[in-house]
Structure 1
Amino acid sequence: MTLVHHAGARRASPHSAAVPGLLLCLAAGLVSVLLHGVLPQVSPLLLAIALGVVMANVRTLPEAMAPGVAVAGRRLLRGGIVLLGLSVPLQAVLALGPGVLLLVVAVVAGGIALTLAWGKALGVPPAQRLLIACGFSICGAAAVAAVTGVVDADDEDAAAAIALVVVFGTVMIGVAPLLGAALGLGVEARGVLAGASVHEVAQVVAAGGVIGSGALAVAVLVKLARVLLLAPVMAGIGLWQRRQSRGRATGGQQPPLVPLFVVGFFVSVAARSLGVLPQGVLDVAAQVQTLLLATAMFALGLGVRVSGLRRLGPRPVVLGAVSTAVVTVIASIGVLAIG
């Protein structure tokens, strides 16, 4: 009897139950990375979530896939965010100078605060406006996914926020270079403007390329400075959640003081900045990071139903436009102030 019980426990092991869904998500993440090689102007993260949305709305996945999809959407996501820290060389970011760094802080802090305020005024639900605020102010889809992992937001809200990042970030690829020229900025200053105002890293690369080679490196570094602020923002959200749960006196387990993946992100930034890892390891880690995040994005997409997205209404779209305008105005004023 005991032997039968243990055999049943082994069959019901959560690890083995997660395998089918996890393999599906990993395969889709790999396909997205390969498609990115054919369509380099489109982020593999965005391709992955699109694949997930299409699959979710074309056919119903077997229930056996659910445990693995959950693992991909949470644990692999957090692993990808940790490895993202290896792409941020602290010395290069600090070399931008105090003026540009203050500008980056102003864009992230001001963008989040004003987007949240406008979202409340527009009647956008709290979790959805937080996803939009962080996605537009920090680093696009990766920030939306990171916030989703901290606050347990609905997959449809996360997918909507990422879709808005795609739409408005793509528009900014053309707007940022034109705005920099209209303001009479030099090539390097236009790169700063692009890095401070465009949402996705891939979109920043595209905008920097439009401006010119002299702007591209600066634009990417400014964007990486915004990525660096992902961890403290997530830590702040974690602290806020902890206080909220303490005030509710539910008796349940409180959220961690600082999410573990945030600590891992800081460790990765430190490892990159101290130069303890050879370039070959960094190159492999970058590929693994992209695959993990693409896998997580596919899992996120599987939770989205088009009928649910239709119910969102125009308010999140208006908030996306407002958030883009807010971030762009702050970035423009900052670049002009720096001179």
Structure 2
Amino acid sequence: MTDQPNPATMTLPDRARAFFKVNGQGFAVATMVAIVAQFLSEHYGAPAMLMALLLGLAFHFLAESGPCVAGVAFTSKTVLRIGVALLGVRISVDQIIELGWEMIAMIIAGVALTIVFGLLSSRLVGRGWRLGLLTGGAVAICGASAAMAIAAVLPKDEKSEQNLIFTVLGVTILSTVAMVLYPIITQWFGLDYVQSGIFLGGTIHDVAQVVGAGFSVSEETGDTATLVKLMRVTMLAPVVLIFALSIRAFTDSKDDDGERPPLLPFFVIMFLVLAAFNSLGLVPGAVQGIISDISRWALLISIAAVGMKTSLRIVQEVGGQSIVVIVAETIFIGAFILWGITLLSEVS
């Protein structure tokens, strides 16, 4: 039997070669799936996240056995966290202050109440608290990206993969429906361009669909919707941190390997650091654009890997209760933001 190389004595190029030998094939396949998903999105208008997820499901057999297993696992976990961390470069304090304290308060309340609503409704229909936090956070904050970030700090159980894949599918499909339906709702209620932007940015789950819906109404609505949506994205780090602290304080839940989720995940720290750098003007516009693109591709590649790790049988077992929960959460946040806009317009 040949001796295994000692990592402590390996050079950096040797470590890189060893790393890619183990993880390279799985990562490469997930990347190819993401590229195809992006192509379909650009040429046929389908949501890239949804396409990556569905295409990944078709390659599930690669994650069961063979040389791709380790790389798929690495991509679905580590690359995901890199993508979420890099989202911080899109956030700045100036953007938040520009909204005004009334709007900030309404958005924070909407996020918090939607998560609480998700937790309560999940328990009401007999599903666990993990699903409530996962779907509630995804609906309240930023869709698939939030779902994957929250899943990273939740203790794992036998339904973790099922809950994550369902949540990503659910919020992506509902965001696509909302992108078409919500601009019509803004007309029904007679909202002006700014109010329409607040409604669209405060209710639609995924950033891409917010941009699509907003600019389909007007440029002013698109700008406002994007700004409000980024405010919701800002809530990702504190919400994930609160979840991590609460889980450690109030439960004895552990991962399948017996380990508790980290107190403060490193990717959350990096998210906050990048947001702070951007707020201080230390990130040039060109660099911000590059990092944002890297973040988007990392999330797209990782969701392809998440799809590859999940079998269609697991998706089919999700049950109608979970669908009721995520649809109810979507209706709840929509109704709350619409009520808040009406209230603020009456006060002003």
With the length of structure 2 as denominator, give the TM-score of the two structures. Answer: 0.88
Which residue of the partner structure matches residue 22 of structure 2?
17
Structure 2 letter corresponding to 1:114: F
Which residue of the partner structure matches residue 150 of structure 1?
153
Q: Aligned with 2:261: secondary structure?
A: coil
Q: Which residues in structure 2 correspond to 1:1-339 (within 5 Å)? A: 4-6=2-4, 16-39=21-44, 41-56=45-60, 62-153=65-156, 154-244=160-250, 253-339=259-345
More displaced 10-residue stretch of structure 1: 327-336 or 165-174: 165-174
Offset of residue 320 of structure 1: 1.6
Contact 1:79 1:292 in 2 (8 A): yes
CA distance in 1, matches of 2:78, 2:63: 23
CA distance in 2, matches of 1:273, 1:37: 31
CA distance in 1, matches of 2:155, 2:333: 25
Per-residue deviation, residues 173-198 of structure 1 (Å, max 9, x unmatched)? 23322322222221111110111111
Contact 1:104 1:196 in 2 (8 A): yes
Structure 2 letter corresponding to 1:48: A
Per-residue deviation, residues 275-302 of structure 1 (Å, max 9, x unmatched)? 2122221111111111111111011001
CA distance in 1, matches of 2:287, 2:21: 30
Contact 1:29 1:292 in 2 (8 A): no
Q: Structure 1 residues 311 and 287 mapped into 2: Cα distance closer, same or farther (>3 Å)?
A: same
More displaced 10-residue stretch of structure 1: 202-211 or 42-51: 42-51
Q: Unaligned regions of 5+ residues in structure 2, if any?
A: none
CA distance in 2, matches of 1:55, 1:197: 33
Q: Aligned with 1:151: secondary structure?
A: coil
Offset of residue 163 of structure 1: 1.3
Offset of residue 8 of structure 1: 9.6
Contact 1:176 1:197 in 2 (8 A): no
Contact 2:115 2:140 in 1 (8 A): yes
More displaced 10-residue stretch of structure 1: 73-82 or 143-152: 143-152
Q: Aligned with 2:196: secondary structure?
A: helix
Structure 1 letter corresponding to 2:48: P
Structure 1 letter corresponding to 2:266: L
Contact 1:33 1:290 in 2 (8 A): no
Superposition RMSD on alpha carbons, in Å? 2.6
Offset of residue 254 of structure 1: 4.1
CA distance in 2, matches of 1:232, 1:279: 25
Contact 2:162 2:318 in 1 (8 A): no
Offset of residue 137 of structure 1: 0.8
Structure 2 letter corresponding to 1:45: M
Offset of residue 253 of structure 1: 4.9
With the length of structure 1 as denominator, give the TM-score of the two structures. Answer: 0.90
Per-residue deviation, residues 222-271 of structure 1 (Å, max 9, x unmatched)? 001000000000001110222245699xxx65432211111110111112
Structure 2 letter corresponding to 1:32: A
Contact 2:253 2:260 in 1 (8 A): no
